[in-house]
A and B are shown apart, each in its own frame.
With several copies, the nearest count.
Chain A
Amino acid sequence: MADAPRDTLFDAPPMGDQERMVEAMLFASATPLTVANLAARMPHGCDPAEALAHLRRRYDGRGVHLVRVGDAWAMRTAPDLGFLMRNEVVETRKLSRAAIETLAIIAYHQPVTRAEIEEIRGVSVSRGTVDQLIELDWVRLGRRKLTPGRPVTFVVTPEFLDHFGLESARDLPGVAELRAAGLLDNRPPPGMGPALGEVDPDDPPPDQSELFAD
């Protein structure tokens, strides 16, 4: 089946198979397909127009419809089920560098105070950054520190673990492990001198025991 039996002397496949073919093509295509588009991809002698007619009847009343768009065809979910697709439209934006760094520090050092985050990052952390992480449900308030001033601490949430596919924050690898696994970007940020984690290519990769020598 891997070879399309195009231009063979054999008969066209049975209509049931032609219907399957049209169904698969319309499903996988990002744009509506014309009869000519379909015919061009199908084995010689097929009749996509007839297959479309069968397919349209088959999907009649289902959760998905075969609809005509200009002179092309596409599959669309039934209009009455639109309410189910409400969550489908999510605009995905990348977290800002400040946010991802703050999140990383909280994950690696939790419970951690704002002052500690600022000390590690070396810059102040705006209120909005932590608020955003809390709103995303990735960070929550932990217990207060027993130090003077009793500052609040931040910890990561189960939603955070879920999003990042972690069983626990303890599963996050240390910097030495990151480097050994080649997960550190070798290009230094602009103006930062020698490359991060760059080593002599002849340097043998560290063995396991070195990996954990912190």
Chain B
Amino acid sequence: MSDAFAEGPPITVAARLEAEALIVDVDGFEGPLDLLLTLSRTQKVDLRRISILQLAQQYLGFVEQARALRLELAADYLVMAAWLAYLKSRLLLPPDPKDDGPSGEDLAAHLAFQLERLAAMRDVAARLMARNRLGQDIFARGLPEDVTRARRVQFSATLLDLMQAYARIRTRDEFRPFVMDRDAVFTMEQALERMRGLIGHAGDWTDILTYLPEGWQADPVRRRSATAATFAASLELAKAGRVELRQSETFAPIQLRAREGRDG
């Protein structure tokens, strides 16, 4: 957040004080609901009687202020702002009889419920942590009895150990060094090897697809690999001056013939 201040235009002391009055410290909040709960406290009423309309206004004001200060707000704050703007319009405008969605009042009531529930959880969490706790206020036996008869070995393992062991096995494959599974891959080297042996006999233009090796034509995966390798090998041979290539039009078969056979 401090970076955001640094990058923005210089802020006067007065402007900064004004901003602080609005507590624009988004970092202090755990999400939009938390921010809403804090804002709702300024209404100084029971959460059950809170004005959602007023709260929406406060939240939108907060977001405006943050924008004016060029603070970057996380996306979920903006999503909440958009939703509250929508809610505000639903609450202010007369209900549309054709709309069978939830009414503005229903939505507002649910938001009030969420705020009350979060406040209640905060409250009981604090009460829970304030209880007398084992090892802090209440103590177990400091010296569990050590009776040395009947020593028994017990193997221990926790659920966490078990789950981590499983995860380790199941993710092992993801992290082995990267190796291509080669059984469906025909390499350019293999294609070159094969074609070097065959082009000597190819005096006439022949479709390069006729050079696909045995057993690589039916399975589409293997066929694709062999085609790519054969094509690459053909270009390689043409570059080396050993063959000529031609294609009559786009997508037409690519044909090849040996140069040596013709020239030599």
Contact = CB atoms under 8 A, between A and B. Distances in A.
Q: Determine direct contact between A and B, CB below 8 Å.
A: yes
A120 B128 contact: no
Q: Number of contact residues on A: which range applies? A: 35 or more
A62 to B, nearest CB: 14
B213 interface: no
B29 to A, nearest CB: 9
B83 to A, nearest CB: 11
Contact of B145 (A88, A90, A104): A88
Given A103-B125, A191-B106, A193-B177, A178 B120 contact: yes
Given A28-B141, A164-B162, A103 B154 contact: no
Contact of A162 (B30, B134, B164): B134
Interface residues of B, number: 71
B142 A164 contact: no
Given A89-B146, A121-B30, A164-B131, A82 B136 contact: yes
Nearest to B111: A189
A90 B162 contact: no
A14 interface: no
A184 B102 CA distance: 22
Given A24-B139, A76-B140, A183-B160, A91 B154 contact: yes
Q: Which of A82, A104, A181, A193 has the most CB of B within 10 A?
A: A104
B176 interface: yes
A168 interface: no
Interface of A: 24, 27-31, 74-79, 82, 85-95, 97-101, 103-105, 107-108, 120-123, 132, 134-136, 140-141, 162-166, 172-175, 178-179, 181, 183-185, 187-194, 196-197, 212, 214
Interface of B: 30-34, 76, 101-102, 106-107, 109-110, 113-114, 116-118, 120-125, 127-129, 131-172, 175-177
